[in-house]
Amino acid sequence: MSMLSRLRLRTLDRLRDSRGSMPVEGLIAATWLIWWYVASFQFFDAYRQKNINLKAAYTIADMVSRVQPDDAVDSGYIDGLNTLFDYLTFSRRATWIRVSSVIWDPADNRYEIAWSYATGPVGGQTDATIQNDAYRLPVMPAGDSVIVVETNMAYEPIFNIGLNAQWYRTFIATRPRFSSCVKYDLQDGVTLPACIYDSDVDMSDNTSDDDTTDPSIGS
């Protein structure tokens, strides 16, 4: 019998061999089971955190919409909402929120900013920047307004299974419940709380730091 024939017979014998090694097979199965368990936990945690982020954002939007007609919000109030957002989301990374009052200007046929305040590294919304989100806003009559609450939170996976670090962003538009608008107080000792500010009042510079550190996550 030639060497080639013997090699072919040995190969066929190995293919027909039904014997196995329980330790080896158990190790292979355990590896896949552990990976499946870790991956399931990681994806569940990512969706859980995204759901918590969304609920916290709606909570903040609801709080702002319930401000009474005789009351007003200010920078300290919105900074406090950011602290509340951190508490509700159990966030250990940087977060920011931006609260804006948006009106419809029938003369210019566009949405405009009545006032806007942001925490963290971002500025307030402006008449120009809000146009990028116009498709997210509802149809409004002249003289009406909506409160827009935007939140931003970093999420970093616990395990490295191919799920990248990412930002969880929300954009929520809600109508004031007890009046046509929510007033903002500049707290400058001169200007009275108002629903709409003149164009010479630049709200985009009203920013604050939430004392957190930005993680290295790409936009």
Per-residue model confidence as pLDDT tens digits over 154-184: 887 777 777 777 788 999 999 999 888 899 9
145 in Cβ contact with 195 (< 8 Å): yes
pTM: 0.74
- Find out whether 64 and 147 touch, Cβ atoms under 8 Å: yes
CA-to-CA separations, 32 to 58, 160, 163, in angstroms, rounded: 39, 16, 18
% of the chain residues with pLDDT over 70: 81
Could you tell me the pLDDT band of residue 18, with boundaries at 50, 70 and 90? low
Banded model confidence at residue 188, pLDDT cuts 50, 70, 90: confident
- pLDDT tens across 93-146, in order? 888 999 999 998 888 888 999 999 999 888 888 889 999 999 999 998 887 899
